[in-house]
Amino acid sequence: MLIGRRAKLPLVLVCLFTLPILFPTLVVASQKWQAKPNDEFFDPYQPLKAPPQPHKLLLKRGDNVAIVGDSITEQRRYSQLMEMYLTVCVPDLRITTRQFGWSGETAQGFLRRMTNDCLSFAPTVVTTSFGMNDYKYRPFDEANGEWYRSNYTAVVAAFKHTKARVILGSPTCVGKVASWVKSASGTVTEHNQHLCKLRNIDIEIAKDQDVRFADQFWPMLVAGFDARLKYGSNYEISGKDGVHPGWAGHVMMAYAYLKAMGLDGNLGTITVNLKRHTAKADRGHVIQNFFDGQYTIVSRRYPFCATGEINSDNSVRSGMTLVPFNKDLNRFLLIVKGGTADRYRVTWGGHVRIYSREILEEGINLAADFPDNPFSEEFAKVDKAVAEKQAFETHQIKESFHSAEARKDLKAVMEKTEVEHARLSAAVCSAFQPVTHTIKIEPE
């Protein structure tokens, strides 16, 4: 993807996301249009203003979440990140999750199979991600836009008919013309213009159908541009093939859907008063004991633990620098009051950070400041179990449900495969165990 001349103007934060990396100046949007960075790279695009992020929680205790989409969903990356978050960060909601990704899928294709392949599992919340195959890897034309609008509207309406709550996701952006699509035509810019128009249609569908919207295209286009400036020209937010993102892009996708669910990101607070010799915790964390500046906590809720290189487009940790993930969704706070020293050493999981008394009184985000922490090992165990479960879900839908045996007796195939799915789901639950950890606070 070619990067245009960068404007040398001061920073103005008026974008949809306040991203924690340096951005070109943004042109203030009208009431209709999204703010655009002031660089010629963005001139060809006319993105509608995305609806504001919802504050009301969409989820209810015991919800069954279906994650629906094309081959990007079948990569089982943003879906895995979402299931991990819903499992370990908000366990009190007791959410169950399945992914229904299908390579090459369009909204029309899913509409034809959704009754047997998805609705049979009675989802109560659905996230959808279509448009990448629907744009047919060519420049935009009105007929294709209306074909997409009609089919995507029908998908949303069908889910709403079952009383499911829907989050409609836009397509992502592309970084290259898909080499495997023989009928592809046009330039990368023309392809992204088409995807941007489909994103605009998605906003209109979401408004007409009164469902929530998760913007994938515009935040990824902007973040991808700036990540290349910060991390190097080889950083591909849309993945090395130009279409299928690495882990960094999938973090952005998961973030958009989790935010659209209305999650507040408050994962717990540990409050220590050094003068009064007291300590308390909330939201699934319990102070087991404390003595001489050392506090032992038992936690039944995890912070979200990142891995990978900070400058890699195939890294969860890198993706979390492209959106305010820790600020918005991953706040595990430590507040220390009553201190008399100017500076304190905080030790957690073998890692040490130095803070001023004033900073500790305001509170620090342990999840952000200690990415490698006492939860990391247990988090990885749950993550492995979730990955195995989601891999089976692809096999269950794409192979078992569309086998010769299923054509004879789909109900029997469902019952048979659900035995294995139940085992894998139980493995996720078994992997998610309380973590006992210690925080030590001592004067510097």
What the chain holds in terms of domains, given with CATH numbers, is: 26-260 (3.40.50.1110)
Q: What percent of the chain has pLDDT over 70?
A: 93
State which amino acid sits at residue 432.
Answer: F
The closest alpha carbon to 222, from 444, 355, 376, 38, belongs to: 38
pLDDT band for position 31 (50/70/90)? confident
Q: What integer pLDDT is reported at residue 406 of this predicted model?
A: 97
C-alpha angle with apex 70: 188 to 307, nearest 5 degrees? Answer: 85
Q: What is the mean pLDDT of residues 12-23?
A: 39
Q: What integer pLDDT is reported at residue 234 of this predicted model?
A: 97
pLDDT band for position 163 (50/70/90)? very high
pLDDT band for position 176 (50/70/90)? very high
Task: Taking the CA atoms of 365, 369, 374 and 376 in sequence, report the sign of the dihedral they define.
Answer: positive
H/E stretch holding 36: strand 36-37
The closest alpha carbon to 189, from 313, 9, 46, 318, belongs to: 46
Query: Is 81 in contact with 254 (CB distance < 8 Å)?
Result: yes
**pLDDT greater than 80 at residue 260:** yes
Taking only the tens place, the pLDDT of each residue in 49-75 is 999 989 899 999 999 999 999 999 999
For the chain, the average pLDDT equals 94
pTM: 0.93
How would you classify the pairing of strands 364-365 and 331-337?
antiparallel
Q: What integer pLDDT is reported at residue 334 of this predicted model?
A: 98
| Crossing angle between the packed helical segments 188-209 and 142-161, to the nearest 10 degrees | 40
- Distance of alpha carbon 215 from alpha carbon 14, whole angstroms: 16
Q: What is the mean pLDDT of residues 314-324?
A: 98
Taking only the tens place, the pLDDT of each residue in 108-129 is 999 999 999 999 999 999 999 9
Q: For residue 24, report the phi and psi dihedrals to the nearest 5 degrees.
A: -65, 160
Matching residue, tokens 């087991």: 288
- SS3 (DSSP) at 8: coil
- SS3 (DSSP) at 306: coil
Q: Which residue has the higher pLDDT, 7 or 138?
A: 138
- SS3 (DSSP) at 413: helix
**pLDDT greater than 80 at residue 21:** no
Query: Is 73 in contact with 129 (CB distance < 8 Å)?
Result: yes
Matching residue, tokens 């992502």: 172
State which amino acid sits at residue 180.
Answer: W
Q: What is the mean pLDDT of residues 250-270?
A: 98
Taking only the tens place, the pLDDT of each residue in 69-112 is 999 999 999 999 999 999 999 999 999 999 999 999 999 999 99
* Phi-psi map region of 284: left, alpha, beta (phi>0 left; psi -120 to 50 alpha): left
- Distance of alpha carbon 319 from alpha carbon 304, whole angstroms: 13
Q: What is the mean pLDDT of residues 182-201?
A: 98
Q: What percent of the chain has pLDDT over 90?
A: 93
Cβ of 109: how many Cβ atoms within 10 Å? 16
Matching residue, tokens 């509409």: 111
Taking only the tens place, the pLDDT of each residue in 329-374 is 999 999 999 999 999 999 999 999 999 999 999 999 999 999 999 9
Q: What integer pLDDT is reported at residue 30 of this predicted model?
A: 66
Q: What is the mean pLDDT of residues 164-174?
A: 98
Q: Which residue has the higher pLDDT, 168 or 10?
A: 168
